[in-house]
Amino acid sequence: MSGATGADARLMQGFATRASGFRPSPVRDVFEVSMRPGIISLAGGNPDLELLPLDRLGQMASEIIAKEGLEVLQYGSGAGLEELAELVCGFMESEGSRPKLDEIQMTAGSQMGLDLVTKLFTDPGDVVLAEGPTYTGALGVFEGYEVEVQQVEMDEQGLVPDQVEERIKQLAAEGKKVKFLYTIPNFQNPTGVTLADDRRAELVRVCRENDVLVVEDNPYGQLGFDGERHRSLHSYDPDAVIYLGSFSKVFSPGVRVGWMVAPPRVRKFLQIAGEAVTICPSVLSQRLVLGFMSEGMWEPHTRKTSTLYQERCEAVLNACEQHMPEGTQWTVPEGGFFTWLTLPEGGAADAEKALPRAIDAGVVFVPGTAFYDDAAAHRAGNPPAVPSGARNVRLAFSSVSPEKLSEGVERLAKVL
């Protein structure tokens, strides 16, 4: 917030205390750089929209307006379009959940779901557990609500339930109440790591027994390279888990449609909180998503795009193998958009410092520090020796051709 002058500065003096926690998204920060000619962007986790049946979608949009214009251009239900919620219920079955209609809340994307859950369940100073590293957009929400974020490291199979329990108990001993665990179990952002199936029931049990809600964020779950769907955490204990789903990664982030699944009483509160922000989810957008799904485009599109992402993932991993400095490690994702690099210990490379040089060399990425929040450690007088994530790099392979991915990794490797 520094650097404001004149009228700006006067207005900003009136900001609420919580505004000091707001920071721009590091991913959106590099967005403009990504658009420069000649730059290869390994930064943005954007879905590739090239394979969408645009002609049919265009026709569909005009048919919807011609036939149902008076409804879809009007305010709609605060809970969302019932027919779409019905399809969502059916879809959730593919992950082992069997929600009822009154447990589904449509949203303007999982980002909104995350905001509503945090608004509803936390007071300033409450603790939220998350994976270390975690989705930077979630950190932004938590900061906005003045929540303390505690991150639990993962191994190559995701969170370790025992370690989560240990952290909850340790925090309780310090007099801190953990309100919820925020987790992205499938093809995680930013690491690409997937929580092992045999840890899922245990993780939910640990949280339930310690009275910690689980917030399961699953925007990538349908994008497994082998087409398999992992069982949702929600399916193990629907009273202990709030599930966030999204149409952004498998259809379009521009339509801004997602959903939440929560027990009916909680769902009702989420609806009230949502109505205070957007009145209702966009009826037109939901109707378009409904058309996309009910015309059977969903499954084939998901399959085609995940094959595309698999090829791209292989291209990135091969290029890392060929070009990255000795001792660099990376995750091997089974789906989704991202891989996560760990630069060699003791090496000179600091990802954040390398970014400007990488941009000069024609490649952009998101440094690992964006996915950590060290504020609690600083407050406790126990900051890490180097910022968490300083030796890490997130590479997004979803929206770049294999040739460009190889070239981008080669450029990056030279800088590192």
CB closer to ligand PMP, 218 vs 369 = 218
CB closer to ligand PMP, 199 vs 256 = 256
- Residue window 14-43: x/- pattern of binding to ligand PMP, with contact defined by CB under 6 A: ------------------------------
| Shortest reach from residue 365's CB to ligand PMP, in Å | 15
CB closer to ligand PMP, 148 vs 217 = 217
161, 219, 224, 335: which one binds ligand PMP (CB under 6 A): 219
Q: Is 184 an interacting residue with respect to ligand PMP (CB under 6 A)?
A: yes
Strand partners, 330: 341
Cβ pair 386, 337 in contact under 8 A: no
Structure tokens at 392: 């890490």
Q: How far apart are CA 343 and CA 142, in angstroms?
A: 28
| Shortest reach from residue 221's CB to ligand PMP, in Å | 10
- Residue window 124-143: x/- pattern of binding to ligand PMP, with contact defined by CB under 6 A: -----------x-x------
Q: Segment near ligand PMP (CB under 6 A), from 35-43, 63-71, 107-115, 301-309?
A: 107-115
CB closer to ligand PMP, 139 vs 361 = 139
Q: What is the 3-state secondary structure (H, E, C) of the chain?
A: CCCCCHHHHHHHCCCCHHHHHCCCCHHHHCHHHHCCCCCEECCCCCCCCCCCCHHHHHHHHHHHHHHHHHHHCCCCCCCCCHHHHHHHHHHHHCCCCCCCHHHEEEECCHHHHHHHHHHHHCCCCCEEEEEECCCHHHHHHHHHCCCEEEEEECECCECCHHHHHHHHHHHHHCCCCEEEEEECCCCCCCCCCCCCHHHHHHHHHHHHHCCCEEEEECCCCCCECCCCCCCCCHHHCCCCEEEEEECCCCCCHHHCCEEEECCHHHHHHHHHHHHHHHCCCCHHHHHHHHHHHHCCCHHHHHHHHHHHHHHHHHHHHHHHHHHCCCCCEECCCCECCEEEEECCCCCCCCHHHHHHHHHHCCEECEEHHHHCCCHHHHHCCCCCCCCCCCCEEEEECCCCCHHHHHHHHHHHHHHC
Query: Which residue's CB comes closest to ligand PMP?
Result: 109
Q: Is 388 an interacting residue with respect to ligand PMP (CB under 6 A)?
A: no
Q: Segment near ligand PMP (CB under 6 A), from 109-117, 208-216, 340-348, 364-372?
A: 109-117
Q: Is 110 an interacting residue with respect to ligand PMP (CB under 6 A)?
A: yes
41, 151, 189, 399: which one binds ligand PMP (CB under 6 A): 189
Structure tokens at 346: 């003791």
Q: Is 222 an interacting residue with respect to ligand PMP (CB under 6 A)?
A: no
- Residue window 231-260: x/- pattern of binding to ligand PMP, with contact defined by CB under 6 A: ---------------x-x----x----x--
| Shortest reach from residue 200's CB to ligand PMP, in Å | 17
Structure tokens at 149: 């974020």
Among positions 321-360, residues that touch ligand PMP (CB under 6 A) are none
Q: Is 217 an interacting residue with respect to ligand PMP (CB under 6 A)?
A: yes
| Shortest reach from residue 244's CB to ligand PMP, in Å | 7
Q: Segment near ligand PMP (CB under 6 A), from 66-74, 103-111, 151-159, 377-385?
A: 103-111
CB closer to ligand PMP, 110 vs 282 = 110
In the chain, what are the helix, strand and coil shares in percent, each to the nearest 5? Answer: 45, 15, 40
Q: Segment near ligand PMP (CB under 6 A), from 31-39, 108-116, 169-177, 354-362?
A: 108-116
Q: How large is the greatest C-alpha to C-alpha distance in the chain, in angstroms?
A: 65
Q: Is 109 an interacting residue with respect to ligand PMP (CB under 6 A)?
A: yes
Q: Segment near ligand PMP (CB under 6 A), from 106-114, 152-160, 175-183, 296-304?
A: 106-114
What is the contact surface with ligand PMP in residues (CB under 6 A)?
45, 109-111, 135, 137, 184, 189, 217, 219, 246, 248, 253, 258
